[in-house]
């Protein structure tokens, strides 16, 4: 929508505005950043695990925010647990709250890999750390932010109004059941002050009172500045010379009588009306610019690849928002490596999967285009089909074909009998993944290394056929190169030893990940826990020991052993052999994926077991530490 303003139209505007003002409210998400703090201490633990917790926590908070306007979460286990809190101010509508949080989501991840950060916007707040801070009321970062402009006349009278309004608003907020209040104070017709106070929901009444009292004393020192804000660990206070909150949502604190007085003054002043209109236009423009900053267009500008911008690959952000019911929790179907996946029903009834990306660095944008470039070049029955992308909105999306059964991890780790996979289904999935990787390594026009093969990156179609997805970390290996040297990026437990230690990347890194996944499918256990510990090593060690002692039946998923139809135990043992062979410490001892396909196709083992000569388990030879990476690719795990 375009807006036009002319002084010749001022009387008409005033008349229309006056007649509509009782039923129309100009909402504002107040997404202006007041201040952002990033801790100086960097993550020195398993960085990939911390970053993964970062992603999950942001997604959890997004769900809470949509339901109740605030949320707290903790992800992982100490000492690398990710604790986070987010809250919108009480007067924001659900839509405005979502918009405000979108700004947080695009800005606060820039603190990573610092292990703590907080950001104050005029409409919302978020904080995260590696310890539980939910009981903290005040801390060393508490501060006040004062505007640079002052009241020029009778500063004492204005200061008196500020003190009065701060006293009133803190008292009202403590008495309310939401720790929130807005109010105003007048010392004369010339001096008025308006204030808002908000405690975070994690505080009890006494803690809220203590925080607001200290915050009010702090921000009162801003007077005679026309505006001041107190930014405390447990609360937020703002005062101004003009009302700044969304009045319809704060009716309980902003009385009807005061609203009538306010709108009477506004409707009688053409100058103020014009100022208000110009302010709205400026806010609209600022909002549009802000939206562009977080999008691919904002980051790439004219460099945005024309083939995406003007081709059939491009989807409209507006259409996707409508197709996902504004990205509702009900339409969430999964969590990708760097974003959330939603089911979207497009005009015409077509169902697609839209992966909502959290892009805040050039490296992550490069990853986006890497995924588009790589997967748009390949076509195989065991690779997910990329339908397009969306780059014209405040957030960017990859659009894939939709698969009702979602991802493999929901089947092999779940206790739900409705998601049980029998042995034949598991074998077919293993074989299909092997064929897909073989295509990437050998049969496609370019040699592609996926780098993040795991159960959650394998989708299952209606017939439970596997589809490899998430190519954000994929790398193309040129014909004249034997390997790439690159920063470590991937998922703990699935990464090959030589890649973790030396950054030495070949197709054999995918072979190792595939071997780990095979063991998971057979055992029904995860290779590594949410703590990022070396539990993956323990699983491989357990399977390796069972194989060496001819007790493989002990590690087979118990659900398989309960099947009415007996399974081929010899075949399971052979598949375990292949999985262990793929996880050998020495990459030269691992078979190529083309050979793995041949071994799996030879289901009867007619060619003998000469190739299955396994040395010591690789998981005892190296100590895995993925805290770093030399090319910033840990962003793949950021929201």
Q: What is the CATH number of the domain that holds 190?
A: 3.30.430.20
If asked whether residues 411 and 542 sit together in one domain, one would say yes
If asked whether residues 415 and 389 sit together in one domain, one would say no
If asked whether residues 334 and 413 sit together in one domain, one would say no
Residue 592 falls within a domain, yes or no?
yes
Q: How far is CA 488 from CA 322, 417, 499, in A?
A: 38, 37, 7
If asked whether residues 510 and 543 sit together in one domain, one would say yes
If asked whether residues 95 and 55 sit together in one domain, one would say yes
If asked whether residues 44 and 99 sit together in one domain, one would say yes
Q: Higher-confidence residue: 428 or 621?
A: 428
Q: How far is CA 313 from CA 282, 370, 388, 400, in A?
A: 33, 15, 4, 11
Q: What is the pLDDT of residues 46-78, one digit of tens each?
A: 455 666 677 778 878 887 888 889 999 998 877
Q: What is the CATH number of the domain that holds 395?
A: 3.30.200.20
Give pairs for 21-28: CB < 8 Å, separation 24+: 21/263, 21/266, 21/267, 22/263, 25/246, 25/247, 25/248, 26/280, 27/93, 27/95, 27/96, 27/246, 27/248, 28/96, 28/123, 28/246, 28/283
> Does pLDDT of 27 surpass 60?
no
Start-to-end CA distance of the chain, whole Å, equals 31
Residue with tokens 């409705």: 418
Question: How far apart are alpha carbons 517 and 525 in whole angstroms?
Answer: 10
Q: What is the CATH number of the domain that holds 449?
A: 1.10.510.10
Residue 298 falls within a domain, yes or no?
no
DSSP H or E run through 294: helix 270-294
Pairing outcome for strands 458-460 and 396-401: unpaired
Q: How far is CA 456 from CA 422, 465, 490, 529, 609, in A?
A: 19, 14, 13, 14, 31
Question: Mean pLDDT lowest for which of 9-18, 427-436, 497-506?
Answer: 9-18
Residue 389 falls within a domain, yes or no?
yes
Domain boundary residue among 82, 105, 129?
129
**Closest by alpha carbon to 611, among 622, 620, 598, 621?**
598
If asked whether residues 419 and 389 sit together in one domain, one would say no
Domain boundary residue among 192, 209, 240?
240
Q: What is the pLDDT of residues 10-22, one digit of tens each?
A: 332 223 333 333 3
Pairing outcome for strands 447-449 and 475-477: antiparallel
Joined tokens for residue 297: 């267009």
Question: How far apart are alpha carbons 263 and 130 in whole angstroms?
Answer: 48
Predicted pLDDT of residue 235: 97
Tally of helices (H runs) and strands (E runs) in the chain = 19, 21
**Counted domains in the chain:** 4
Q: What is the pLDDT of residues 360-418, one digit of tens each?
A: 445 556 666 666 666 667 788 999 888 888 877 767 788 888 888 888 988 988 776 66
Confidence of residue 43 (pLDDT cuts 50, 70, 90): low
- Give the burial string for 523-543 (b: 16+ CB within 10 Å, else e): bbbbbbbbbbbbbbbebbebb
Q: What is the pLDDT of residues 70-128, one digit of tens each?
A: 999 998 877 778 899 999 999 998 888 887 887 887 788 778 778 889 999 999 999 99
Joined tokens for residue 464: 């439970």
Q: Which of 280-294, 340-354, 468-482, 494-508 has the highest mean pLDDT?
A: 340-354
Residue 391 falls within a domain, yes or no?
yes
If asked whether residues 549 and 434 sit together in one domain, one would say yes
Domain boundary residue among 204, 221, 240?
240
Percent of the chain predicted with pLDDT > 90: 31
Q: Higher-confidence residue: 220 or 8?
A: 220
Predicted pLDDT of residue 499: 79
- Give the burial string for 10-27 (b: 16+ CB within 10 Å, else e): eeebbeebeeebeeeeee
Residue 4 falls within a domain, yes or no?
no
Residue 620 falls within a domain, yes or no?
no
Residue with tokens 């390796």: 544
Joined tokens for residue 594: 């083309």
Catalytic center residues? 452
Structural domain range at position 148? 143-240
Percent of the chain predicted with pLDDT > 70: 68
Joined tokens for residue 343: 């089911």
If asked whether residues 577 and 476 sit together in one domain, one would say yes
343 is in an annotated binding site: no
Q: What is the pLDDT of residues 214-231, one digit of tens each?
A: 999 999 999 989 999 999
If asked whether residues 457 and 590 sit together in one domain, one would say yes
Residue 312 falls within a domain, yes or no?
yes
If asked whether residues 491 and 389 sit together in one domain, one would say no
Predicted pLDDT of residue 336: 55
Residue with tokens 């015409």: 348
Predicted pLDDT of residue 93: 87
If asked whether residues 348 and 229 sit together in one domain, one would say no
DSSP H or E run through 239: strand 235-240
Q: Are 161 and 222 in contact (CB under 8 A)?
A: no
Residue 175 falls within a domain, yes or no?
yes
């Amino acid at each position: 929508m375009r807006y036009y303003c002319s002084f010749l139209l001022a009387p008409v505007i005033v008349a229309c505005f006056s007649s509509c003002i009782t039923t129309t409210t100009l909402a504002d998400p107040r997404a202006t950043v007041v201040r952002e703090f990033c801790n100086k201490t960097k993550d020195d633990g398993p960085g990939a695990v911390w970053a993964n917790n970062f992603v999950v926590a942001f997604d959890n908070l997004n769900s809470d925010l949509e339901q109740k306007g605030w949320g707290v979460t903790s992800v992982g286990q100490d000492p690398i647990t990710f604790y986070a809190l987010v809250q919108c101010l009480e007067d924001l509508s659900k839509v405005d709250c979502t918009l405000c949080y979108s700004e947080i989501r695009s800005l606060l991840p820039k603190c990573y890999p610092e292990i703590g950060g907080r950001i104050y916007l005029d409409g919302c707040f978020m904080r995260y750390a590696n310890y539980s801070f939910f009981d903290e009321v005040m801390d060393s970062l508490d501060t006040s932010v004062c505007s640079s402009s002052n009241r020029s006349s009778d500063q004492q009278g204005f200061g008196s109004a500020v003190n009065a309004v701060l006293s009133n608003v803190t008292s009202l907020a403590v008495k309310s059941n939401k720790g929130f209040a807005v109010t105003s104070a007048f010392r004369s017709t010339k001096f008025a002050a308006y204030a808002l106070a908000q405690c975070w929901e994690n505080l009890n009444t006494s803690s809220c009172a203590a925080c607001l009292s200290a915050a009010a004393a702090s921000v009162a020192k801003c007077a005679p500045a026309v505006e001041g804000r107190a930014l405390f660990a447990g609360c937020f206070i703002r005062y101004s010379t003009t009302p700044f909150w969304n009045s319809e949502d704060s009716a309980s604190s902003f009385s009807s009588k005061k609203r009538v007085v306010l709108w009477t003054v506004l409707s009688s002043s053409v100058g103020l009306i014009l100022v208000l209109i110009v302010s709205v236009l400026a806010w609209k423009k600022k909002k549009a610019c802000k939206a562009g900053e977080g999008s691919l267009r904002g980051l790439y500008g004219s460099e945005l690849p024309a083939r995406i911008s003007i081709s059939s690959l491009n989807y409209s952000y507006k259409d996707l928002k409508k197709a996902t019911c504004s990205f509702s929790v009900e339409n969430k179907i999964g969590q990708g490596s760097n974003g959330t996946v939603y089911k979207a029903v497009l005009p015409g009834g077509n169902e697609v999967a839209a992966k909502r990306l959290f892009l805040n660095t050039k490296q992550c944008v490069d990853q986006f285009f890497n995924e588009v470039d790589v997967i748009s070049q390949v076509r195989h029955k065991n690779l997910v089909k990329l339908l397009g992308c969306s780059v014209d909105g405040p957030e960017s999306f990859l659009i894939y074909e939709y698969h009702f059964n979602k991802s493999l991890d929901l089947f092999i780790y779940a206790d739900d009998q409705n998601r049980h996979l029998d042995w034949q289904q598991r074998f077919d999935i293993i074989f299909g993944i092997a064929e897909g990787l073989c295509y990437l390594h050998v049969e496609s026009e370019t040699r592609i290394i996926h780098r993040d093969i795991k159960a959650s990156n394998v989708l299952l179609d209606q017939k439970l056929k596997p589809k490899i997805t998430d190519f954000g970390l994929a790398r193309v290996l040129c014909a004249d190169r034997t390997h790439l040297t690159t920063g470590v990026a991937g998922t703990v437990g699935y990464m090959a030893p030589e890649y973790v230690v030396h950054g030495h990347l070949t197709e054999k890194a995918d072979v190792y990940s595939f071997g780990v996944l095979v063991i998971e499918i057979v055992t029904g256990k995860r290779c590594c826990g949410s703590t990022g510990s070396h539990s993956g090593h323990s699983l491989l060690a357990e399977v390796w020991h069972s194989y060496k002692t001819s007790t493989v039946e002990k590690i087979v998923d118990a659900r398989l052993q309960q099947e009415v139809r007996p399974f081929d135990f010899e075949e399971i043992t052979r598949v375990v052999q292949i999985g262990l062979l793929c996880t050998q410490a020495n990459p030269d001892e691992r078979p190529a994926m083309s050979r793995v396909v041949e071994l799996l196709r030879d289901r009867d083992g007619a060619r003998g077991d000469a190739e299955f000569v396994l040395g010591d388990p690789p998981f005892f030879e190296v100590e895995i530490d993925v805290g770093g990476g030399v090319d910033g690719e840990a962003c793949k795990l950021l929201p």
